[in-house]
C-alpha cells in the first residue's frame, strides 16, 4: 500500500515566550520543586519562574485571593447593602443571561438571603431586551416596589449611562458591579461603581484586572459578610457559605473564558474541587442530570457540559429558570429544572447543528471558502437568533476565517453575530463597513449587528476585501501552539501526574502540547468508537527504544492515510490512563503529519 506524505491539519508553532533564564537555574529548581525540567520550562513560559511562584501556581489556596477591600467600590457597596438589609428595603439583583451573569446573580442572592434580606432578581430576555441594563426594565422594577429599592447589577452596567441616570432620577439607589471594558470617563452616575479596572479613591489599582462578573460578585459578597457582621474573620457558617459560593464563581470564571491565572486560577481550582461537595441543591441536581456524579468536575466539563446547560435556556428562551435552579428551587424542583435544562440544551444543540450544516453547505456551494475570499457572511431565513454566535464559531473552526452568521426576518431585517480569528479585529472590520448597519458593536473577537437584508451582499464583499488585506492564504489554517520537542522516553507516569497538576486549563494557561518526531507506526492503524470516529496507533521511537500507544479523538478519518512502517511526527500530550484495571501511559494526539512515506 503506497502512502504519500501528509501535511498537518494545523500550522505548528513553538511558543516564543521567554524562559527568563530558567535554564540557568534548572538544577536548583528541579531540586527545590521536585518537578521535571520539561514542566519547569512550561511554567516559565507562563511566567512562573521562582519556587514561590511555582508553588502558588500548583497549589492554589484561598489565602492567595486578594482582599475584597482592595476592589474599587466593594466596601461602599457592602455598606449600602448592609444598610438596606437592616432597613428592610427591597434589594434587586439585575443580572445577565449567560453563565457568568446567572452565577453572579446567584452568589449575591445566597449572601443576601443569609442575612434575611428582601431580595429579588431580574434577568433580561436575550432576544427581546438584549444585553445589559435597559431603562424600561429598571423603571418597571422601581415601580413594583413600595419603597425606593437598592438595585445592584452584576456582570453588566459599566457603560449604561442613560439607564443609570433614569434609575437614579426615579429614586433607586443604584450599585453597578461589572468587569467589561469601558471608555475613559464615560461612566454611569450610579451611587457606587464596583469594577476591577477602576482606580480606588485612596489611590492604587486592583491587583488583578481580569475577574469575571461572578468573581466580582464573590468579592462583593465577601465584603458584605464582613461588613454586616462587623467581623473581619467570619464564623463557621459564613465561611462554609463562601466556600460554596466559590463553586458558583468557578462556573462563571471558566465559562466566561477569562485568563485562568492569579486569583482566577484560585477560584477555578478550589471551586471545581468543591463543587461535588456543595450544599446547593441546584448544583447537585445539575451534576446528576449531566451524569457527572462519578467524575472529577474539570474546566472541560464546565465548558462543554454544565455551562451549555445553564446557557441553553437563555439562548432558546429565558434564563430565569437557570437562576432559579441555583437559588431558591427545592430539591424536587431542582431535579425538574435540571432535567428541563438538559432537554432545552439538546434542543439547542439540534438547532445549532441544523443551522451550522446549512451554513457550511451554503459556503461550499457558493465557493465562499476559496483562498481569495478570506471572510464569510452567511444569511438564512428565520434562523434562531439564540445560536447564531455559536454557529459563527463553528464556521471559524471549519474554515479558519472571520465569520458572520445572520438571520433574515419577514420584514427584511438581518441580524446576527460575528466571530473572528487571531490577527483580525472583527470590530475594526465592521467599523470599515459601518454605513451598512443600523447598529453594531462588540470587540476584536466577537460582535453583533443589525442591517437591512438588501445590504448583506455588499457587506460580504466589503468585509472580504478588508480581511484579505490582513490575512494571507497561508493563515487560513489554524495555529497549534507547541511547547517543545520530546522523545517518548520523557513520557513517564510521574510526568503525566505533574501535567495534571497544571490544570485547570484555559485562556492564559492553555493545555500543553509537545511534538514527538520521527516515530514509526508499528501496527496497522485502528479506528474505534461509534462510526470509527477515533484513531488508535502503536508507535515506536527507535532512538529512545520506547513504544507507546497513541489515541486521536475525532481523528478516525486519518486512519486510511496511514499504515504500518510509516514515519510520523505527532503533536500531543502524555496522559496516564487506567482501562479495565490496567495502568498505562499513552499520548493523546492533537495533530500529526507523515514525514516519511512508504
| 347 falls within a domain | no
Neighbours of 102 (CB within 10 A): 35
Q: How confident is the model at residue 181 (pLDDT cuts 50, 70, 90)?
A: confident
State which of 444, 459, 476 marks the end of a domain: 476
Claim to verify: residue 277 and residue 164 sit in the same structural domain = yes
Q: What does the pLDDT look like over 242-265, one tens digit per residue?
A: 999 999 999 999 999 999 999 999
Q: What does the pLDDT look like over 437-458, one tens digit per residue?
A: 999 888 888 889 999 999 999 9
> So what's the pLDDT on residue 200?
82
> So what's the pLDDT on residue 578?
80
| 59 falls within a domain | no
| 43 falls within a domain | no
State which of 431, 456, 476 marks the end of a domain: 476
> So what's the pLDDT on residue 3?
57
> So what's the pLDDT on residue 129?
86
> So what's the pLDDT on residue 5?
65
Claim to verify: residue 454 and residue 535 sit in the same structural domain = no
Query: What value does the mean pLDDT of the chain take?
Result: 93
Claim to verify: residue 462 and residue 393 sit in the same structural domain = yes
Please compute the mean of the pLDDT values over residues 291-307 and round it to a whole number: 94
How far are the Cα atoms of 42, 254, 264, 499, 577 from residue 58, in angstroms, in the given order?
Answer: 12, 18, 13, 10, 21
CA 93 – CA 84 distance, rounded (Å): 13
- DSSP letters for 359-398: HHHHHHHHTTTSTT---EEEEEET--GGGHHHHHHHHHHH
Residue 509 pLDDT > 90? yes
| 350 falls within a domain | no
| 52 falls within a domain | no
> Percent of the chain scored above 70 by pLDDT?
98
The answer to whether 376 touches 403, Cβ cutoff 8 Å, is: yes
Residue 213 pLDDT > 70? yes
The phi and psi torsions of 166 (rounded to 5 degrees) equal: -65, -40
| 38 falls within a domain | no
Claim to verify: residue 215 and residue 114 sit in the same structural domain = yes
> So what's the pLDDT on residue 582?
81
State which of 476, 508, 537 marks the end of a domain: 476
Please compute the mean of the pLDDT values over residues 194-213 and round it to a whole number: 90
Mutual orientation of helices 26-33 and 51-58 as an angle, nearest 10°? 40
| 471 falls within a domain | yes
Q: What does the pLDDT look like over 12-25, one tens digit per residue?
A: 999 988 777 677 77
CATH of the domain at 578: 2.40.50.460
CATH of the domain at 409: 3.10.310.30
- DSSP letters for 484-525: -EE-GGG--HHHHHHHHTTPSPBTTBPPP-EEEEEEEE-S--
Claim to verify: residue 455 and residue 529 sit in the same structural domain = no
CA 177 – CA 168 distance, rounded (Å): 16
Please compute the mean of the pLDDT values over residues 101-108 and round it to a whole number: 98
Please compute the mean of the pLDDT values over residues 482-508 and round it to a whole number: 94
CA 581 – CA 557 distance, rounded (Å): 29
> So what's the pLDDT on residue 597?
61
Please compute the mean of the pLDDT values over residues 516-545 and round it to a whole number: 92
Tally of domains in the chain = 3
Claim to verify: residue 321 and residue 192 sit in the same structural domain = yes
> So what's the pLDDT on residue 244?
97
Claim to verify: residue 160 and residue 226 sit in the same structural domain = yes
Claim to verify: residue 462 and residue 487 sit in the same structural domain = no
Q: What does the pLDDT look like over 46-75, one tens digit per residue?
A: 999 999 999 999 999 999 999 999 999 999
Neighbours of 196 (CB within 10 A): 25
Please compute the mean of the pLDDT values over residues 95-99 and round it to a whole number: 94
DSSP 302: I
Print the domain residue range for 378: 367-476
CA max distance for the chain: 82
Claim to verify: residue 533 and residue 444 sit in the same structural domain = no
The answer to whether 374 touches 467, Cβ cutoff 8 Å, is: yes
Higher pLDDT residue, 231 or 369?
369
Mutual orientation of helices 388-399 and 331-366 as an angle, nearest 10°? 50
DSSP H helices in 144-298: 161-169, 213-229, 236-255, 262-274, 281-289
Claim to verify: residue 123 and residue 191 sit in the same structural domain = yes
Q: What does the pLDDT look like over 114-157, one tens digit per residue?
A: 999 999 999 999 888 888 899 999 999 999 999 999 999 999 99
| 197 falls within a domain | yes
Claim to verify: residue 86 and residue 187 sit in the same structural domain = yes
Claim to verify: residue 407 and residue 501 sit in the same structural domain = no
Residue 568 β-bridge partners? 519, 594
Please compute the mean of the pLDDT values over residues 228-238 and round it to a whole number: 92
Amino acid at each position: 500500500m503506497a502512502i504519500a506524505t501528509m501535511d498537518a491539519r494545523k500550522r505548528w508553532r513553538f511558543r516564543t515566550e521567554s524562559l527568563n533564564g530558567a535554564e540557568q537555574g534548572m538544577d536548583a529548581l528541579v531540586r527545590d520543586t521536585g518537578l521535571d525540567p520539561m514542566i519547569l520550562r512550561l511554567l516559565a513560559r507562563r511566567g512562573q519562574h521562582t519556587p514561590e511562584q511555582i508553588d502558588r501556581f500548583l497549589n492554589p489556596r484561598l489565602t492567595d485571593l486578594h482582599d475584597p477591600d482592595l476592589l474599587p467600590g466593594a466596601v461602599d457597596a457592602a455598606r449600602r447593602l448592609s444598610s438596606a438589609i437592616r432597613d428592610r428595603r427591597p434589594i434587586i439583583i439585575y443580572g445577565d443571561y449567560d453563565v457568568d451573569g446567572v452565577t453572579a446573580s446567584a452568589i449575591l442572592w445566597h449572601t443576601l438571603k443569609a442575612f434575611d434580606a428582601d431580595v429579588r432578581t431580574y434577568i433580561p430576555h436575550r432576544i427581546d431586551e438584549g444585553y445589559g441594563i435597559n431603562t424600561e426594565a429598571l423603571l418597571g422594577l422601581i415601580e413594583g416596589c413600595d419603597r425606593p429599592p437598592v438595585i445592584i447589577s452584576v456582570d453588566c452596567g459599566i457603560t449604561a449611562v442613560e439607564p443609570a441616570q433614569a434609575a437614579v432620577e426615579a429614586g433607586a439607589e443604584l450599585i453597578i458591579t461589572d468587569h467589561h471594558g469601558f471608555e475613559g470617563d464615560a461612566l454611569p452616575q450610579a451611587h457606587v461603581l464596583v469594577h476591577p479596572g477602576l482606580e480606588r479613591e485612596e489611590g492604587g489599582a486592583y491587583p488583578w484586572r481580569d475577574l469575571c462578573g461572578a468573581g466580582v460578585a464573590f468579592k462583593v459578597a465577601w465584603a458584605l459578610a464582613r461588613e454586616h457582621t462587623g467581623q473581619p474573620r467570619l464564623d463557621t457558617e459564613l465561611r462554609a457559605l463562601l466556600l460554596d459560593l466559590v463553586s458558583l464563581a468557578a462556573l462563571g470564571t471558566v465559562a466566561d473564558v477569562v485568563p485562568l491565572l492569579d486569583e482566577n486560577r484560585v477560584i477555578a481550582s478550589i471551586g471545581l474541587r468543591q463543587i461535588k461537595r456543595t450544599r446547593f441543591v441546584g448544583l447537585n441536581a445539575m451534576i446528576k442530570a449531566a451524569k457527572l456524579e462519578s467524575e472529577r468536575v474539570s474546566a472541560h466539563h464546565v465548558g462543554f457540559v454544565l455551562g451549555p446547560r445553564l446557557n441553553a435556556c437563555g439562548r432558546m428562551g429565558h434564563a430565569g429558570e437557570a437562576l432559579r435552579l441555583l437559588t431558591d428551587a427545592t430539591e424536587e424542583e431542582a431535579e425538574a429544572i435540571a432535567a428541563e435544562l438538559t432537554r432545552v440544551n439538546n434542543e439547542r444543540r439540534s438547532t445549532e447543528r441544523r443551522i451550522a450544516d446549512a451554513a457550511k453547505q451554503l459556503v461550499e456551494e457558493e465557493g465562499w471558502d476559496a483562498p481569495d475570499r478570506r471572510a464569510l457572511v452567511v444569511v438564512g431565513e428565520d434562523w434562531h437568533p439564540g445560536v447564531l454566535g455559536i454557529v459563527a464559531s463553528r464556521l471559524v473552526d471549519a474554515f479558519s476565517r472571520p465569520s458572520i452568521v445572520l438571520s433574515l426576518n419577514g420584514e427584511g431585517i438581518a441580524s446576527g453575530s460575528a466571530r473572528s480569528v487571531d490577527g483580525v479585529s472583527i470590530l475594526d472590520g465592521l467599523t470599515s463597513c459601518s454605513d451598512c448597519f443600523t447598529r453594531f458593536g462588540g470587540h476584536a473577537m466577537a460582535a453583533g449587528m443589525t442591517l437591512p437584508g438588501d445590504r448583506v451582499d455588499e457587506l460580504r464583499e466589503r468585509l472580504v476585501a478588508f480581511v484579505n488585506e490582513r490575512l494571507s492564504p497561508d493563515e487560513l489554517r489554524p495555529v497549534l501552539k507547541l511547547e517543545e520537542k520530546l522523545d517518548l522516553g520523557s513520557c513517564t507516569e510521574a510526568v503525566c501526574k505533574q501535567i495534571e497538576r497544571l490544570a485547570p486549563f484555559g485562556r492564559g494557561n492553555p493545555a500543553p502540547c509537545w511534538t514527538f518526531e520521527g516515530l514509526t507506526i508499528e501496527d496497522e492503524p485502528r479506528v474505534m468508537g461509534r462510526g470509527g470516529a477515533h484513531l488508535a496507533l502503536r508507535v515506536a521511537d527507535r532512538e529512545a527504544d520506547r513504544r507507546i500507544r497513541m489515541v486521536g479523538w475525532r481523528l478516525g478519518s486519518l486512519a486510511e492515510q496511514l499504515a504500518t512502517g510509516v514515519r510520523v511526527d505527532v503533536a500531543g500530550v502524555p496522559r496516564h490512563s487506567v482501562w479495565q484495571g490496567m495502568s498505562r501511559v499513552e499520548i493523546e494526539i492533537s495533530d500529526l503529519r507523515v514525514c516519511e512515506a512508504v
